[in-house]
Structure 1
Amino acid sequence: MVPFFSSLFPAADKSAWLTQVLSESKSTQNGDDEYERLSWHTEEGFVIEPYYTTSDLAEGPLATSLLDTIQAVQKRSPGWLNTPEYRVINEKSDNIILRDTLARGADALILTLATSAANLNEQLSRLLNGIKLSDTPVFFRPTSGQAIELVKALEIVAPYKLKGGLLTDTDNSTAEVTRLTANSPQFRTICVNSHAFHNAGATATQELAFTLASLADAYDQLTESGLTIEQLAPKTTLSISVGTSYFMEIAKLRALRVLLVRFTSAYSSAPLPPFFIHGQTSTFYDAKATPNTNLLRATTEAMAAVIGGCDALTVHSFDAVLGKPTLADNATSATDFSARIARNISILLKQESYLDKVADPSAGSYYIETLTHSLVEAAWSLFLSVEQQGGFARALASGFIKGELDKAYHAKVQAVRNGKVLVGVTTFRFDEPSTQTYVAPGGITGVLPDRRLAEEFE
């Protein structure tokens, strides 16, 4: 039996849609030029068409096994860890706040530790009292040179299989802490992040390519120390900033998984366990002038992160750009409100949107699958260009990476000057002056600028 609506709306291929678009456009004399006007020439280096149909998957470059390859490497299990971040000041009082945070919906924690303590064992014992690291993943941002001391202290304070890890750039201590925690496979000691590139103004293509190049340098260093790719991959976290371009950011995280498989195939032909991806909402697009509008950005970014397939998600509070709160500050009602709202975004996406019930919900979308493929190829090309220059460190030292990021940033600024809207900055603005400044954790400090797009207009 033929469905009723099939007789009313017969099938139409993409060429029929194009004919209809051109016939109904304001100017039919321009032919393909009118269609070109509707296309989006992205800063990522490729063109996005006004619409996509099933033919883009059935007849285009994705028609082969490539589409199956893209989908096969995405997350197989739905859900993510709701992972708020705190900066530790006073271990005893902070412990109360951490336990309360976990009781109110957090699944994991990120803790930025204070300067190296005289007795780290005692401090960690007070800080983690009542928090079992074999059940609750805790990720640490230790101070420089503190990683080995921290891991050894954790072995005493929490003598069981740990969950969580270290969110620090690869350095001379990484190989040793990886070996020290070999009996805790879910405690990840290798971290490569995209935040420095993102906050310098990177396009999605640049963010993916430079993150991959940074990972290549890290793996070269670690394999030279005697570790194998089979030891490295399960202990690696990719920490990625997620911006406001909703569909592009979904595709960015999906493309990252494809790129990682392509990258690791150079080390081993055997399949490796999937990489752990931590997503965090962006501060690059946040506004100080009207910080409440950052709630809109954070919600969009968080939804893109989970649909894109992050394993853990950190949502920055809407007022974080005014000054990153400490745990002690969270006792104040205003900061407690913003921290609660940030934590609840993940909870709402789970309990009201049911996004934790489906793995890779965007699979099969004509638009997102095409966008994912375009990002993979553009980022891989740029990554190979960096490798041809001798790798990430050399490309950074030569000024190539900073030059590319500067061009991308200035293009973003110019787009706003030409009329692109920044909600709470160029429209719907209600100034709320503040003298505080947010400083993003981690990154390649002193080399790449830490920016906010709105700064030019506030």
Structure 2
Amino acid sequence: MVPFFLSLFPATGKSAWLTQVLNESKAAQRGDNEYERLRWHTEEGFTIEPYYTTSDLAEGPLAPSQLTTIQAAQKQSPGWLNAPEHKITDEKSDNVILRDALARGADALVLNLPIAANNLNDSLSRLLSGIKLSDTPVFFRLASGHAHDLIKALKIVAPYNLKGGLLLDAGDSTAEVTRLTADSPQFRTVCVNSHTFHNAGATATQELAFTLASLADAYDQLTDSGLTLEQLVPKTMLSVSVGTSYFMEIAKLRALRVLFARFTSAYSSAPLPPLFIHSQTSIFYDAKATPNTNLLRATTEAMAAVIGGCDALTVHPFDTVLGTPTSADRSTSATDFSARIARNVSILLKQESYLDKVADPAAGSYYSELLTHSLVEAAWTLFLTVEKQGGFAKALANGFVQTEIEQAYQAKVQAVRNGKVLVGVTKFRFDEPNIQLYTAPERVTGLLPERRLAEDFE
């Protein structure tokens, strides 16, 4: 039976909506093109309409088969791991902090680990005391070249099935550590991250394409070493920064799964396990000016990450970019506060917003589906351009990657100069008196700089 109230709201098409918009807008009375102003011309190079209906799916570029492909690639089970990050400075005192974080809502841990080859077994024993890696996933960040030493030590300190993984880009030792942890299928050793591109100022399209190209290089090396795709995919983790453009970032993570499925199908047509995505809130969009506004950014980014389908989420404390001892020394109440608030963002999204109760909540939204499709096709085209140059390493060596990202970054800066608002920086700003800000030197990761968009305006 059709509810009686539906008869009070007759169906209207998109043309009727557009006519109403133009009739009610003052701009239309002046002869301005109000509808054009409502369209979103993205920095990725495609245009997003302000309003979509089912007719856009039938008449537009997204055919029903493509929609099915997009949705089939998404995560099929809800939920994510709340994985706060901690920089390790003293194993004994840090162990207390880590255990407290797990008792207060963390599901996993990201450990920024300074590796010292001497006494590594003892250091890990103190650090992981009371934390069982078969129950609690632990993800390690460490300097390149030390992965083998860490895995050997973990096999002694925690001689059982490990969960977690290595949050460092695949390198020379990746094949060996993948074989060493074959008995721990939930410990991921093949990692590619998008943070390098994101923090240099890349668009979402560039971030996806260059991450996929980096993975292609890594898989080529690993398959050459004798590993099969069936061995690699379960051990693969992509770590992705999530920025402030809410719907674009949701679509970015959804597009990543589609791109990964399209990419792996070139290696094998056999069914493969789902991709594991670790997401972290963006440092690129954080500001030192009015730093409390970073709380707003982190919440928006975290929400986009979980709706987009991340498997693990790291929310950075709002004062991370200040250079205060948020991660290195948590002896002060202020740093305890920022770490606790960061951890609680995930908890609130679960316990008060119930976002862990449904898988792929963006599915079926005309807007989200078309945005996802647009990102998939734009990123795939750029990925193929990189592959035609011989792969990511060669495209980086010849300057193609740097040039593309530099243009994107300068466009972002120019948009702010032209009036785009950075909350707390160019508008709604409050400079606290006598605050001492640490200014970090510009870092270069490989051939790409680490930046923040607000730097030139603080």
Q: When the two structures are superposed, what TM-score results if normalisation uses the length of structure 1?
A: 0.96
- SS for the counterpart of 2:384 is helix
- SS for the counterpart of 2:292 is helix
Tell whether the 8 Å contact from 1:22 to 1:31 is kept in structure 2 after alignment. no
2:377: which partner in 1? 377
Tell whether the 8 Å contact from 1:320 to 1:438 is kept in structure 2 after alignment. no
2:126: which partner in 1? 126
Tell whether the 8 Å contact from 2:247 to 2:368 is kept in structure 1 after alignment. yes
2:303: which partner in 1? 303
| Worse overlay, 425-434 or 274-283 | 425-434
Does the C-alpha gap of structure 1 residues 349 and 108 become closer, same or farther in structure 2, counting only changes over 3 Å?
same
How far apart, CA to CA, are the structure 1 residues paired with 2:87 and 2:441?
12
- SS for the counterpart of 2:45 is coil
How far apart, CA to CA, are the structure 2 residues paired with 1:27 and 1:287?
35
1:272: which partner in 2? 272
* Deviation of 1:37 (Å): 2.4
* Deviation of 1:50 (Å): 1.4
How far apart, CA to CA, are the structure 1 residues paired with 2:331 and 2:351?
27
Deviation per CA, 1:82-105: give whole Å up to 9, x if none: 000111111111111110110000
1:162: which partner in 2? 162
The letter of the residue matching 1:231 is Q
The letter of the residue matching 1:250 is I
1:136: which partner in 2? 136
1:405: which partner in 2? 405
2:179: which partner in 1? 179
Tell whether the 8 Å contact from 1:209 to 1:380 is kept in structure 2 after alignment. yes
The letter of the residue matching 1:283 is I
Deviation per CA, 1:272-312: give whole Å up to 9, x if none: 10110000000111110111110000000000000000000
1:145: which partner in 2? 145
Tell whether the 8 Å contact from 2:444 to 2:450 is kept in structure 1 after alignment. no
- SS for the counterpart of 1:364 is coil
- SS for the counterpart of 2:140 is strand
1:217: which partner in 2? 217
1:243: which partner in 2? 243
The letter of the residue matching 1:352 is E
**How many residue pairs are counted as aligned between the two chains?**
456
How far apart, CA to CA, are the structure 2 residues paired with 1:376 and 1:454?
29
* Deviation of 1:57 (Å): 2.6
Q: When the two structures are superposed, what TM-score results if normalisation uses the length of structure 2?
A: 0.96
- SS for the counterpart of 2:62 is helix
* Deviation of 1:325 (Å): 3.6
How far apart, CA to CA, are the structure 1 residues paired with 2:444 and 2:365?
36
Tell whether the 8 Å contact from 2:73 to 2:257 is kept in structure 1 after alignment. yes
| Worse overlay, 356-365 or 59-68 | 59-68
Tell whether the 8 Å contact from 1:288 to 1:434 is kept in structure 2 after alignment. no
| Worse overlay, 48-57 or 333-342 | 48-57
* Deviation of 1:331 (Å): 2.1
Matches within 5 A, 1:189-200: 189-200=189-200
How far apart, CA to CA, are the structure 1 residues paired with 2:236 and 2:349?
26
The letter of the residue matching 1:168 is L
Tell whether the 8 Å contact from 1:323 to 1:439 is kept in structure 2 after alignment. no
How far apart, CA to CA, are the structure 2 residues paired with 1:301 and 1:34?
30
* Deviation of 1:144 (Å): 2.7
How far apart, CA to CA, are the structure 2 residues paired with 1:132 and 1:374?
43
Deviation per CA, 1:145-170: give whole Å up to 9, x if none: 21111101111111100000111111
How far apart, CA to CA, are the structure 1 residues paired with 2:425 and 2:328?
30
Does the C-alpha gap of structure 1 residues 32 and 288 become closer, same or farther in structure 2, counting only changes over 3 Å?
closer
- SS for the counterpart of 2:280 is strand
2:454: which partner in 1? 454
Tell whether the 8 Å contact from 1:116 to 1:143 is kept in structure 2 after alignment. no
* Deviation of 1:314 (Å): 0.1
- SS for the counterpart of 1:237 is strand
* Deviation of 1:117 (Å): 3.5
Tell whether the 8 Å contact from 1:38 to 1:50 is kept in structure 2 after alignment. yes
How far apart, CA to CA, are the structure 1 residues paired with 2:32 and 2:77?
44
- SS for the counterpart of 2:139 is strand
* Deviation of 1:332 (Å): 1.2
Match of 1:435 among 434, 437, 444: 437
How far apart, CA to CA, are the structure 1 residues paired with 2:246 and 2:397?
33
* Deviation of 1:141 (Å): 1.2
Deviation per CA, 1:86-129: give whole Å up to 9, x if none: 11111111111110110000000011111424111111011000
Tell whether the 8 Å contact from 1:90 to 1:328 is kept in structure 2 after alignment. no
How far apart, CA to CA, are the structure 1 residues paired with 2:380 and 2:291?
36
* Deviation of 1:333 (Å): 0.7
Tell whether the 8 Å contact from 1:97 to 1:327 is kept in structure 2 after alignment. no
The letter of the residue matching 1:340 is R
Tell whether the 8 Å contact from 1:197 to 1:207 is kept in structure 2 after alignment. yes
1:52: which partner in 2? 52
How far apart, CA to CA, are the structure 2 residues paired with 1:222 and 1:121?
28
| Worse overlay, 306-315 or 362-371 | 362-371
Tell whether the 8 Å contact from 1:88 to 1:94 is kept in structure 2 after alignment. yes
How far apart, CA to CA, are the structure 2 residues paired with 1:435 and 1:33?
46
1:395: which partner in 2? 395
Matches within 5 A, 1:70-149: 70-149=70-149
The letter of the residue matching 2:261 is V
1:14: which partner in 2? 14
Does the C-alpha gap of structure 1 residues 2 and 124 become closer, same or farther in structure 2, counting only changes over 3 Å?
closer
How far apart, CA to CA, are the structure 2 residues paired with 1:255 and 1:273?
17
* Deviation of 1:27 (Å): 4.4
* Deviation of 1:9 (Å): 1.7
Tell whether the 8 Å contact from 1:192 to 1:215 is kept in structure 2 after alignment. yes
Does the C-alpha gap of structure 1 residues 48 and 334 become closer, same or farther in structure 2, counting only changes over 3 Å?
same
* Deviation of 1:34 (Å): 3.6
